[in-house]
Structure 1
Amino acid sequence: MRRGIRDAGLSLAFLVIFVLALLGQSIAGHAYLNEQQAQHGDAKVGYLEYVSSSDFIVDVAENWQSEFLQFFLFILATIWLVQRGSPESKQPGDEGVGTDAEQSVGRHARADSPKWAKSRGIRLWVYSNSLLLVMGGVFLASWLAQSIAGRVVANEEGAQHGQPPGTWVEYVVSADFWNRSLQNWQSEFLAVGAMVVFSIYLRQRGSSESKPVGVPHRTSSVEAD
């Protein structure tokens, strides 16, 4: 049990942090909503009613979709693009998907390789691109949830001003939807770009996201190994 927890420590730690942050968001969001309700003389909203509402769902979904879009694009970009000296990049000259021998797939698979890595055809293609496919799928699902919940919120706000409800398509092409999306996207892209560049010149001893402290700036961690 203790060894299992140690071996999965990184994922378990972030799972706990995620749950606590999501819980904190729901409590703070619920309190803020009721403050707004009181200012308008409306009845308070219960906690369970709030966490199942479109207001809460749209706030959560718009952040999820930007995060998974960030990783989807980063995974895709690092197949073909490199940044010399960054541990977030392959070394120059290694661009592309690599050969079957380099990837240990098909007839080059090892005895302990995953089962689908030893197969051929569509199963091998799916497994070879499974990380990108899952990240893209979660992004699309989160984006859809954001658009559906966001439309409900927008229509509720519009009804308060006597406006007719809009369709899903009208909301998806609206300034409100794209303002919500792009304000999250730009920050994610900035963070990824900064990490790629900062990791060329800066170090964190003991972190797998950093090169060894004494490795030259223009050398990637792969080259150093």
Structure 2
Amino acid sequence: MTWLRDNGLTLVLLALFGLSIGGQAYAGWLAAIEEMGRHGAAAPGFGEYVSDGEFLATVFENWESEFLQMSAYVVLTAHLFQRGSAESLDPDDPDRERDKVGPSLWDKLFAHSLGIAMGLLFAVSFALHLFYSAEHAAEEARLHGEAAPRLTEHLADSQFWFESFQNWQSEFLSTAVLVVLSIYLRERGSPESKPVQAPNSETGVSE
């Protein structure tokens, strides 16, 4: 039971992820069956649907935006401030630079390893979104008797960037809203909130 308590946050988030991606796959499959039915075409099997470029492109499109948000958040909060926010370091804290870094290359890499890891996850998700989006575009082109675009051509396609930017903008907005709302609002017990009685002017979550 102690293990469950100590890892509850990760376990619940992974369970919610599993339910969500399962729901996305099932609902998308039903929608694809309905769409094929309208055109008198054979309905795809579930396995066929979830291995299709269109479905996989939507999955990695969302992962891409989430990892972009988190990597930007990790790096930006290390260098920029928002006075009064629980999500910011205190710019007037004299001990802010107390976390020293060793002289070796490994020390320097480890000091930025979280930002690097999140950035790599974003890059991988972006590449997979591009690959499967291009695969879906090629399928659509073949259906219309057109030449399938090359990967580099798809990278320059406005539809691909529309897919990315429509998610990126919402991630940056939601992060900015959290930063500002944490100045004025509280959630008792959350490390993302200042103590309930803390003044709005206090920056960070320390008591």
TM-score scaled by structure 1?
0.87
Query: In the aligned structure 2, how far is the partner of 1:144 from the partner of 1:50?
Result: 21
Corresponding residue number in structure 2 for 1:7: 6
Q: Deviations over 1:126-147 (max 9, x none)?
A: 2111111110111010000000
Tell me if the contact between 1:68 and 1:138 (Cα under 8 Å) persists in the aligned partners: yes
Structure 1 stretches of 4+ moved >6 Å: none
Corresponding residue number in structure 1 for 2:176: 193
Corresponding residue number in structure 1 for 2:155: 172
Query: In the aligned structure 2, how far is the partner of 1:58 from the partner of 1:132?
Result: 24
- SS of 2:148's equivalent in the other structure is coil
Query: In the aligned structure 2, how far is the partner of 1:94 from the partner of 1:149?
Result: 47
Corresponding residue number in structure 1 for 2:121: 138
Corresponding residue number in structure 2 for 1:116: none
* Cα drift, residue 104 of structure 1: 5.5
Query: In the aligned structure 2, how far is the partner of 1:93 from the partner of 1:156?
Result: 56
* Cα drift, residue 221 of structure 1: 3.5
Q: Deviations over 1:109-141 (max 9, x none)?
A: xxxxxxxxxxx4121122111111110111010
- SS of 2:179's equivalent in the other structure is helix
Tell me if the contact between 1:84 and 1:91 (Cα under 8 Å) persists in the aligned partners: yes
Give the one of 174, 185, 189 matched to 1:206. Answer: 189
RMSD (Å) for aligned C-alpha atoms? 1.5
Query: In the aligned structure 2, how far is the partner of 1:215 from the partner of 1:43?
Result: 61
Instruction: Identify which range, 154-163 or 81-90, moves more after superposition.
Output: 154-163
Corresponding residue number in structure 2 for 1:27: 26
- SS of 2:175's equivalent in the other structure is helix
Tell me if the contact between 1:61 and 1:146 (Cα under 8 Å) persists in the aligned partners: yes
Q: Percent identity?
A: 40
Q: Deviations over 1:152-205 (max 9, x none)?
A: 111211222222111101111111100000000000000000000011011112
Corresponding residue number in structure 1 for 2:16: 17
Pair 1:103 & 2:103 matched:
no
Amino acid at match of 2:110: Y
Tell me if the contact between 2:86 and 2:183 (Cα under 8 Å) persists in the aligned partners: yes
Tell me if the contact between 1:62 and 1:181 (Cα under 8 Å) persists in the aligned partners: yes
Unmatched tracts of structure 1, length 5 or more: 107-119
- SS of 1:103's equivalent in the other structure is coil
Amino acid at match of 2:111: S
Corresponding residue number in structure 2 for 1:117: none
Tell me if the contact between 2:101 and 2:108 (Cα under 8 Å) persists in the aligned partners: no
Tell me if the contact between 2:154 and 2:160 (Cα under 8 Å) persists in the aligned partners: yes
- SS of 2:144's equivalent in the other structure is coil
Amino acid at match of 2:63: W
Unmatched tracts of structure 2, length 5 or more: none
Give the one of 132, 157, 165 matched to 2:140. Answer: 157
Pair 1:78 & 2:77 matched:
yes
